[in-house]
Structure 1
Amino acid sequence: MEGAKMHWFSILISLMVIAFLAGIVLLILLRTVRRDLTRYEVLDKEELSGWKLVVGDVIRAPGNATLLCVMVGDGVQILGMAVVTILFAALGFMSPECRGT
Structure 2
Amino acid sequence: MQHDRESLGHGISAMLWLSVAPSALDAAGRKLAEHHEVRFAGATTGQANLVATVATVASPSTGELYTYLSEKIGGIDGVQAVETALTLRHVKQLTYEPSP
Which protein is richer in strand relative to its size?
Answer: 2
- Between structure 1 and structure 2, the one with the greater Rg is 1
- TM-score by length of structure 1 reads 0.18
TM-score of the superposed pair, with normalisation by structure 2: 0.18
